[in-house]
């Protein structure tokens, strides 16, 4: 007896994605029409190359110096965007200084959308390409990314492009993973995954790409920038969590940030984060070693944001890709409920209930589901071998 469309969880999920796509499209049209003055993260990205070209670039890691420059660049701006990226970041964004703010942001956003769509086209299998691309572009995480001018489109595109190329073009995959070192926290599990699968060529290509970026940054900028970054980043990270309620940590979707938001002490939160990171790393290595590639990649994608102390709601676009991978194996109503929670929860950040956006818990549940699927696949493979 055929299953009615209205009782099919995939049909319900498709309806939700369609509504989100309409919302995202409406917001995009409104933004193009009204040109709202938003306090967006792209203000930071636009200011960094301008500072590097107008001031002593070493000062970019000095908070008072950069803050004074940004407040001069944006009259009436009383906040501050620190530069926490490695010096290689300036290499890939230096072109932003050649355009006005609105033009640069338009190019940035369109390039990110195009990169994400192209990578999704290569990553998802033919029958799921449109589903995967639309689901990512329609996601609330994508809306947050577009509204803030953040990096989620590019980082997700590099992840998808790397794993799309891995089976047949391992060197190209390694180049994509090497470029992801521009945002190194999202790259931390990939070497472990590749090592578990004995993928030496992409490991070598990623390492050479990263070294080439470092060498170029030392050619164009003072090598001392790397010392400044290494000294500055830990201090900012410690200060960010120690600030507690003075800063909005809810947009950070990691275990440590969620625990601090709930009032847990910083040391306890860091200990929990360390244990979580170790558990995720072990599970990713196991899945990469034993499970079929699609399920192993699903485990990796769901674990990326759990394994690091700093990942943001706009980085969670990669979780949508993981949900699509899991849905390929079939979708039950319990999994559909979890998937919709993961997918829709970032909307809370746009409401007065934003303090209830504690994303690490549903992330952890999704990660557990992915690990169970991978373990079941590994168990079936062992049975097939014994037979």
Rg (CA), the chain: 21
pLDDT (0 to 100) of residue 2: 44
pLDDT (0 to 100) of residue 75: 87
94 token code pair: 């230096």
Q: pLDDT means per 10 residues in the chain (387 residues)? A: 60 90 90 73 95 94 93 87 94 95 92 97 94 96 93 97 96 97 92 96 97 96 94 81 69 92 91 96 95 94 93 95 87 85 94 90 95 76 43
306, 280 Cβ separation under 8 angstroms: yes
Q: How far is the C-alpha of 198 from the C-alpha of 262, rounded, in Å?
A: 41
343, 16 Cβ separation under 8 angstroms: yes
pLDDT (0 to 100) of residue 37: 65
Q: How far is the C-alpha of 157 from the C-alpha of 166, rounded, in Å?
A: 14
pLDDT (0 to 100) of residue 386: 35
DSSP per position, 96-163: GGGS-HHHHHHHHHHHHHHHHHHHHHHHS-GGGHHHHHHHHHHSHHHHHHHHHT-SHHHHHHHHHHHH
Q: Output the pTM of the full model.
A: 0.93
pLDDT (0 to 100) of residue 5: 52
343 token code pair: 């997918």
pLDDT (0 to 100) of residue 163: 97
* CA count, 13 A, side-chain hemisphere, 359: 32
42, 105 Cβ separation under 8 angstroms: yes
pLDDT (0 to 100) of residue 312: 93
pLDDT (0 to 100) of residue 237: 76
Q: How far is the C-alpha of 153 from the C-alpha of 140, rounded, in Å?
A: 13
pLDDT (0 to 100) of residue 174: 97
Q: How far from 209 is each of 4, 181, 352, CA to CA, in Å?
A: 51, 9, 44
147, 40 Cβ separation under 8 angstroms: yes
pLDDT (0 to 100) of residue 384: 44
Cα first-last separation, the chain = 34
Q: Which residues contact 91 (CB under 8 A, 6 or more apart)?
A: 213, 216, 217, 220
Alpha-carbon torsion (209, 215, 217, 223), positive or negative: positive
Instruction: Count CB neighbours of 227 within 10 A.
Output: 12
């Amino acid at each position: 007896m055929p299953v009615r469309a209205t009782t099919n969880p995939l049909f319900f999920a498709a309806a939700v994605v369609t509504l989100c796509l309409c919302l995202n499209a409406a917001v995009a049209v409104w933004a193009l029409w009204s040109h709202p003055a938003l306090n967006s993260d792209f203000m930071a990205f636009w200011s960094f190359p301008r500072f590097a070209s107008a001031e002593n670039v070493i000062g970019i890691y000095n908070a008072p110096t950069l803050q004074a420059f940004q407040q001069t660049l944006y009259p009436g701006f009383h906040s501050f965007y620190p530069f926490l990226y490695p010096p290689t970041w300036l290499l890939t964004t230096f072109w932003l200084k050649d355009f006005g703010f609105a033009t640069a942001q338009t190019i940035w956003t369109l390039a990110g959308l195009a990169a994400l769509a192209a990578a999704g086209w290569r990553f998802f299998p033919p029958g799921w390409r449109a589903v995967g691309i639309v689901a990512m572009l329609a996601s609330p995480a994508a809306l947050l990314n577009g509204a803030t001018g953040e990096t989620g489109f590019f980082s997700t595109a590099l992840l998808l492009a790397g794993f799309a190329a891995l089976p047949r073009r391992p060197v190209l995959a390694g180049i994509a993973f090497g470029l992801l070192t521009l945002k190194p926290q999202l790259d931390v599990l990939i070497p472990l995954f590749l090592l578990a699968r004995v993928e030496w060529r992409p490991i070598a290509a990623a390492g050479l790409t990263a070294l080439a970026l470092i060498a170029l940054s030392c050619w164009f900028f003072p090598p001392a920038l790397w010392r400044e970054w290494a000294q500055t980043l830990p201090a900012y990270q410690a200060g960010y969590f120690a600030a507690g309620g003075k800063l909005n940590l809810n947009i950070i979707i990691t275990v440590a940030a969620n625990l601090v938001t709930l009032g847990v002490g910083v040391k306890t939160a860091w200990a929990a984060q360390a244990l979580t990171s170790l558990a995720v790393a072990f599970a990713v290595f196991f899945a990469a070693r034993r499970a079929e590639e699609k399920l192993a990649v699903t485990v990796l994608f769901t674990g990326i944001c759990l394994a690091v102390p700093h990942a943001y709601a706009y980085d969670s676009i990669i979780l949508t890709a993981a949900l699509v991978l899991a849905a390929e194996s079939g979708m039950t109503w319990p999994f559909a409920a979890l998937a919709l929670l993961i997918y829709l929860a970032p909307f809370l950040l746009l409401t007065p209930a934003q303090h209830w956006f504690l994303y690490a818990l549903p992330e952890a549940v999704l990660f557990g589901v992915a690990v169970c699927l991978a373990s079941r696949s590994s168990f079936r493979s062992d049975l097939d071998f014994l037979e």
